[in-house]
Amino acid sequence: MKRERAGHTLQATAVVHEAFVRLVGMDVPWQDRVHFFAVAARLMRRILVDHAKGRQRTKRGGELSIVSLAPGTEGSRGATDAGDIDVLEIDDALERLSQRDPRLAQIVELHYFAGMTYQETAMALGISEATVHRDLRMAKAWILSQILAPGTSA
């Protein structure tokens, strides 16, 4: 059975709450849905990245990756062997994507970091759901290829 899953399981975790606390604390006049979600996504991304960086600092020399689900793959991972991607790598790749195609990067942020579904992303951006599907497939493949096979990008 196929069912779409939002970027991450948006359960009531402390992180999501933290994002909200910051969001609500911000005195920003929200222009529209996209604006709000864009900021929410950015905040989520920032919190996760900051935490990952902090952890890297405190455990320097120890376990470097956030989650090592596939031990022994360090430096030799193949295209489908993506178990130990961490959020910092995603962050980097996403940053590079946004330099090439800011719109695509925004869709990725909305979907993966703000947890918007395809349908909601489509509605928020005023594009078709099919376009969201296509764009995300493309973006995901690009980001993964950046992380797993660096150097292919010209």
Cα separations (Å) of 109 from 41, 57, 71, 150? 6, 25, 28, 21
**One character per residue 52-91, x = contact with another protein (rule: CB under 8 A):** x--x----------xx-x---------xx-xx-xxx-xx-
Residue 38 CB: number of other CB atoms within 10 A? 18
Please report, as residue ranges, which positions from 25 to 54 form the binding site for another protein (by CB under 8 A). 25, 30, 32-33, 36-37, 40, 42, 47-48, 51-52
Residue 128 within binding range of another protein, rule CB under 8 A: no
| Closer by beta carbon to another protein, 128 or else 140 | 140
Q: Which two tokens stand for residue 4?
A: 């779409």
Q: Least Å distance between CB 47 and another protein? A: 7
Beta strands in 13-88 (DSSP E): none
